[in-house]
DNA sequence: ATATTTTGTTAGGCAGCCTTATTATATACG
DNA sequence: CGTATATAATAAGGCTGCCTAACAAAATAT
């Protein structure tokens, strides 16, 4: 089933920024802006109008639509200052929900999220790497159905994050190096058929970056996802950049050493063979002839073990090198470290920071001033996947499921 | 004069994509689209309507505006097929012109360009590196005024390309390593004052990329500018990406070797110290104890000199390494080589291509299929600078200068 | 009580697009 | 030569979505 030669259904391209060519598109744009602002915090009509630079009547009209669709709730006005009290508007957290899936090498996760992106119900299991496409997909579907059965509100869409590379046109996973079961799987088509919902597929690293957009005002940043591999979610103008073939951000396969060790990917000296979590474990293992897991090595490093510290330091140094190059190429506003490796960011950041401070193009000390944030959110990939689905609803790409009038 | 502590005039941010929030903005967007299409080739109203996906009446109306402003000319209908002949519309090449300036290390160039970006008049001289900010600016201004005096149509705006880094907010050149005369110069403010025209400042590498946009349909590509330094113009969705501080694309200071030679920029193993034109000259010089210029070395390489060939091959290999990393990070659709170094692209490309083919993330052979084009346009930087000014006119950011009615 | 301030709505208008119908200009062909 | 057909461009009327100006509502200040 995973090997269908061709997809039959039309496949949704996600995050498609349609051209703005007519007045109706303006409405779509403004509607999405309103919802994005309201995700941050409740606002009154006046406040929204001012923030967006639109007139009060225009905004009132727009809000009217959203209220009618029950996407927003209007709370009772609360005292603020003198003058009529503003009526706080907020997103209706019970209007609908979305399903967010994370299909990673060792994690198979299905979660329900409310319109604010908050988790309602999460089911985590193993993806079953090495047991074949059929089995992997079966687990994913089973988890999805189980979670869906618990939904207490209509489900609008599904977002799924998977390792790249991905063919977005066809909704097909191509050839993730550490997850051969998925090779050439038409994931979108299958899920759409089996779940009967619109499905949005995204890179895992793009998904986490998408998720992080919610908690940062940064316009241009790079989210470095540290796990066995290393991915980069590239955000430009608050848009995820995917590349021509949906392939951008393979930071793990950037070469740090032109004559380095060959990597299965074809390149040499790939970053992820030096700074990926597996690489850290292997390095420590080679030095000590043991086979500890990452967290154990981190614990040793914290308790002063110099070899364990070295293992992390070398990874940090390589990441620092990568960071310098990213800065000189992208000039981002922010770097974010996330994923399993980021749990031990305190061991990586000192050498990363040192490299960045001393080597990034030094004018005005942009290297020194570049903030590095650590994303500690528990399940960032699944949330990111859900965000894609949410975004589609916000942009009005998906017809909203019906709701029972009166169920505030 | 070049050291004004603060700029007084409001400085124009160039290429600012204003938000689309109201119906009028839709017009602006569609107007710019029409003009971009007509730059490629003359089209009829029907053809334009179909290409843009707009209705014929809407397009007719828009064209009416543009004709009224004399920005377009309507030629006599010519036989094409049966049915009424379409009236070809084209951009009026005599409606206005723009000034394009290139202030590079060894090139100081002022040119007039018509609305199609075609050069009308170009004056090339030396920038006077090492003679101080005052002298450099004097030369630029003098060349500008001399060229402007030859203008036979109203001048709408000025575009100027300079080496980075640049502070775009302030219109200030910061600290180009090879051109200390320019450090901290408020170029935009001075030019606006001295020329009395709106001025748009851009990186040299971004400018050439902007220029190349005119001759390629590619959405996402990277223009690699090979001169003493190496710059990258990053184009995403047919927009130049500048980075948070207008600093993106410093490809020359990406490190190819974490333990390589120190570079004045603070990093080690910088690409431009291996593959820049100066680096090639130096490498050949070290090997042969001579001091030839690049073109002489290239001539020797063509005539079979193995040392000269090696000097280019090593640069090509480093560029290939960079290309692989760019592909794995950006997944571009196209790479373009331009600038003085690109004149000898035939000596660089074989090893570059080899590296790219064997090492880029191999799925579907995207490395192998990635086209590499060589930009052979004679003065690409000046044209690129002019393009920025043209774009501003097309987007309607600049009030068009008056014209004498009747001067078709 | 009355003035003031702030929020939100109503009414009327403009811009820009669409659809449908009409006019203009050409070829094809009996 | 006249009519059918095809294509281009315009005209008329309508819808959407924004704006401004005026107004109604709801609170505080005095």
Dihedral angle sign, alpha carbons of residues B148, B153, B156, B160: negative
Angle of helix A56-68 relative to helix A45-52, nearest 10 degrees? 120
Residue that is last in its domain, among B70, B91, B112? B91
Distance CA A304, CA A316 (A): 17
The residue range of the domain holding B45 is 23-91
Q: Is residue B170 part of a domain?
A: yes
Banded pLDDT at B167 (limits 50, 70, 90): confident
B239 and B344 in a single domain? The answer is yes
Residue A200 shares a structural domain with residue A346? no
- Tell me the pLDDT of chain A (408 aa) as tens digits: 333 333 333 444 444 567 788 999 999 999 999 999 999 899 999 999 999 999 999 999 999 999 999 999 998 877 767 788 999 999 999 999 999 999 998 899 999 999 999 999 999 999 988 999 999 999 999 999 999 999 999 999 999 999 878 888 899 998 887 889 999 999 999 999 999 999 999 999 999 999 999 889 999 999 999 988 899 999 998 889 998 887 899 999 999 999 999 988 889 999 999 999 999 999 999 999 999 999 999 999 999 999 999 999 999 999 999 999 999 999 999 999 999 999 999 999 999 999 999 988 766 677 888 999 999 998 899 999 999 999 989 988 888 877 655 444
- Same domain for A265 and A206? no
**Shortest distance, CA A190 to any CA of chain B (angstroms):** 22
For A83 and D29, how far is CA from C1' in angstroms? 10
Q: Quick one: B37 exposed, middle or buried, by C-beta within 10 A (0-12, 13-18, 19+)?
A: middle
Residue A6, pLDDT score = 33
CA B303 to chain centre: 33
Which residue in B has a C-alpha nearest to residue A325's C-alpha? B254
Per-residue tokens: B145: 């005024």
Q: Looking at the complex, does the CB of residue A203 fall below 8 Å from at least one CB of chain B? A: no
Q: Is B243 on the interface with A (CB under 8 A)?
A: yes
Judged against a pLDDT cut of 70, whether residue B362 lies above it is answered with no
In a domain, residue B408? The reply is: no
A266/B362 CB distance under 8 A? yes
For residue B13, being part of any structural domain is answered with no
**Least CB-CB distance to A329: which of B165, B250, B360?**
B250
CATH of the domain at A355: 3.30.420.40
Beta strands in A178-300 (DSSP E): 199-203, 221-226, 230-236, 239-240
Residue A217 touches chain B, beta carbons under 8 Å = no
Q: Band of the pLDDT at B363, cuts 50, 70, 90?
A: low
| Same-domain check for residues B355 and B279 | yes
Domain co-membership, A297 together with A386: no
Write the DSSP assignment of B51-95 as a string of letters: HHT--HHHHHHHHHHHHHTTSEEEPPP---SSSSPP--EEE-TTS
Say whether residue A232 is in contact with chain B using an 8 A CB cutoff.
yes
Q: Is the dihedral of CA A112, A113, A114, A119 positive or negative?
A: positive
| Residue range B308-325, pLDDT digits in tens | 999 999 999 999 999 999
**Are the C-beta atoms of B157 and B200 separated by less than 8 Å?**
yes
**Within-domain flag for B400:** no
- Beta carbons of A297 and A287 less than 8 angstroms apart: no
What's the pLDDT at B166?
A: 87
Q: Residue B397: which of B114, B15, B11 has the closest Cα?
A: B15
Strand B172-173 with B166-167, pairing: antiparallel
Omega within 30 of 0 (cis) for the link into A165: yes
Q: Are B107 and B383 spatial neighbours (Cβ–Cβ below 8 Å)?
A: no
Tokens coding B146? 């001399």
Same domain? For B358 and B230 the reply is yes
Residue B155 lies in a domain: yes
- Per the CB < 8 A criterion, the answer to whether A26 and A15 are in contact is no
Q: For the packed helices A187-195 and A133-148, what is the interaxial angle rounded to 10 degrees?
A: 40
User: Tokens 């590509």 — which residue?
Assistant: B221
Choose from A249, A331, A357 for mutation: most chain B CBs within 10 A: A331
Span B223-246, average pLDDT: 91
Q: Of A370, A359, A390, A53, which Cα lies nearest the Cα of A220?
A: A370
The pLDDT value recorded for residue A5 is 34
Question: Which protein residue lies nearest to nucleotide D7, measured between its Cα and the C1' atom?
Answer: B83
Structure tokens at B363: 């799925």
Residue B11 domain flag: no
Residue pLDDT, tens place only, B21-64: 899 999 999 999 999 999 988 999 999 999 999 999 999 999 99
Nucleotide nearest to A55 (CA to C1'): D19
Considering only CA atoms, which of A203, A260, A267, A199 is closest in space to residue A235?
A: A203
Within 10 A of A376 (CB to CB), how many other CB atoms are there? 11
Q: Dump pLDDT digits (tens) for B90-130.
A: 999 999 999 999 999 889 999 999 999 999 999 999 998 89
pLDDT computed for residue A81 by the predictor: 73
Measured in whole angstroms, the distance separating CA B185 from the mean position of its chain's CA atoms is 21
- Residue B285 CA to residue B301 CA, distance in Å, equals 14
> What is the structure's pLDDT at B399?
82
Please indicate, yes or no, whether residues B68 and B36 belong to a single structural domain of this protein: yes
Burial class of residue B260 in the structure, from the number of CB atoms within 10 Å of its CB (0-12 exposed, 13-18 middle, 19+ buried)? middle
pLDDT tier, B158 (very low <50, low <70, confident <90, very high otherwise)? very high
Strand order through the sheet with A108-113 = A119-125, A108-113, A97-103, A155-162, A199-203
* Closest C-alpha to B33, from B61, B62, B60: B62
Question: pLDDT value at position B102?
Answer: 96
Residues A280, A348 within the same domain: yes
Strands A155-162 and A199-203: parallel
CA of B265: which chain A residue's CA is closest? A361
CA atoms of B118 and B98, how far apart (whole Å): 10
Categorize the per-residue pLDDT at B268 as very low, low, confident or very high, splitting at 50, 70 and 90: very high
Neighbours of B287 (CB within 10 A): 12
A357 to chain B: nearest residue by CA? B266
Largest Cα separation within chain A, whole Å, is 73
Phi, psi of A125 (to 5 degrees): -150, -170
Using DSSP, state whether B21 is helix, strand or coil: coil
Which of B68, B91, B114 corresponds to the end of one domain? Answer: B91
Domain count, chain A: 2
Q: How far apart are the first and last CA of chain B?
A: 42
Whether residues B352 and B247 fall in one domain = yes
How high is the pLDDT of residue A97?
Answer: 96
Contact list, B266 vs chain A (CB under 8 Å): 358-362
Closest nucleotide C1' to the C-alpha of A86: C7
Q: How far is B219 from chain A (nearest CA, A)?
A: 8
Specify the nucleotide whose C1' lies closest to residue B55 (CA).
C18
- Looking at the fold, whether A237 and A135 belong to one and the same domain comes out as no
The pLDDT-based confidence of B11 (bands split at 50, 70, 90) is very low
Kindly report, residue by residue over B215-233, the tens digit of the pLDDT: 898 999 999 999 888 999 9
| A120 three-state secondary structure | strand
Domain membership of residue B352 (yes or no) is yes
Q: What distance separates the 2 farthest-apart alpha carbons in chain B?
A: 73
Do both B358 and B228 map to the same domain?
A: yes
Packing angle between helix A306-330 and helix A294-302, nearest 10 degrees?
A: 110
Asked if B231 and A320 count as a contact pair (C-beta separation under 8 A), the reply is no
CA gap A58, A49 in Å, rounded:
8
A32 touches chain B (CB under 8 A): no
- Residue B277 φ/ψ, nearest 5 degrees: -65, -40
**Contact call for A358 and B54, based on CB within 8 A:** no
Asked if residue B102 and residue B83 are part of one domain, the reply reads: no
With 0-12 / 13-18 / 19 or more C-beta atoms within 10 angstroms meaning exposed / middle / buried, residue A202 is buried
| HEC sequence for chain B | CCCCCCCCCCCCCCCCCCCCCCHHHHHHHHHHHHHHHHHHCCECHHHHHHHHCCCHHHHHHHHHHHHHCCCEEECCCCCCCCCCCCCCEEECCCCCEEEEEEECCCCEEEEEECCCCCEEEEEEECCCCCCCHHHHHHHHHHHHHHHHCCCCCCEEEEEEEECCCEECCCCEECCCCCCHHHCCCCHHHHHHHHHCCCEEEEEHHHHHHHHHHCCCCCCCEEEEEECCCEEEEEEECCEEECCCCCCCCCHHHCECECCCCECCCCCECECHHHHCHHHHHHHHHHHHCCCCCHHHHHHHHHCCCHHHHHHHHHHHHHHHHHHHHHHHHHCCCEEEEECHHHHHHHHHHHHHHHHHHHHCCCHHHHHHHCCEEECCCCCHHHHHHHHHHHHHHHCCCCCCCCCCCCCC
Question: How many Å lie between the alpha carbon of B28 and the closest alpha carbon of chain A?
Answer: 10
Write down which residue in B91, B111, B140 finishes a domain: B91
């Amino acid at each position: 089933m995973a090997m269908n030669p061709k997809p039959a259904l039309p496949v949704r391209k996600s995050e498609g920024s349609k051209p703005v060519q007519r007045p109706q598109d303006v409405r779509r744009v403004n509607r999405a802006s309103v919802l994005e602002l309201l995700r941050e915090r409740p606002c009154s009509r006046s406040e929204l109008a001012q923030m967006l630079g639109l007139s009060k009547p225009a905004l009132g009209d727009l809000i009217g639509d959203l209220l009618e669709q029950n996407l927003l709730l209007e709370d009772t006005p609360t005292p603020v200052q003198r003058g009529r009290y503003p009526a706080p508007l907020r997103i209706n957290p019970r209007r609908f929900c979305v399903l967010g899936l994370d299909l990673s090498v060792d994690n198979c996760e299905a979660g329900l999220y409310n319109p604010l992106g908050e988790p309602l119900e999460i089911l985590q299991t193993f993806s079953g790497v090495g047991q074949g496409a059929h089995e992997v997909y079966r687990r994913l579907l089973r988890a999805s159905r189980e979670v869906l059965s618990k939904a207490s509100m209509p489900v609008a869409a599904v977002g799924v994050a998977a390792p790249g590379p991905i063919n977005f046109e066809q909704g097909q996973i191509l050839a993730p190096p550490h997850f051969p079961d998925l090779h050439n799987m038409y994931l979108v088509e299958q899920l759409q058929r089996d779940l009967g919902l619109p499905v949005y597929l995204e890179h895992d690293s793009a998904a986490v970056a998408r998720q992080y957009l919610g908690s940062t005002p940064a316009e241009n940043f790079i989210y470095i996802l540290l796990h066995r591999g290393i991915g980069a979610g590239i955000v430009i103008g608050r848009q995820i950049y995917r590349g021509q073939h949906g392939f951008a951000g393979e930071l793990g396969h950037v070469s740090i050493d032109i004559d380095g060790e060959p990597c299965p990917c074809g390149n040499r000296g790939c970053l992820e063979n030096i700074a990926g979590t597996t690489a850290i474990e292997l390095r420590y293992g080679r030095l000590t002839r043991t086979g500890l897991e990452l967290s154990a090595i981190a614990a040793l490093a914290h308790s002063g073990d110099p070899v364990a510290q070295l293992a992390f330091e070398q990874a940090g140094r390589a990441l620092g090198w990568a960071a310098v190059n990213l800065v000189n190429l992208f000039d981002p506003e922010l770097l974010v470290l996330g994923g399993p490796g980021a749990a031990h960011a305190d061991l990586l950041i000192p050498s990363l920071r040192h490299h960045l401070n001393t080597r990034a193009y030094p004018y005005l000390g942009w290297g020194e001033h570049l903030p590095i944030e650590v994303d500690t959110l528990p399940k960032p990939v699944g949330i990111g996947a859900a965000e894609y689905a949410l975004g589609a609803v916000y942009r009005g790409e998906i017809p909203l499921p019906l709701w029972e009038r009166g169920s505030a």
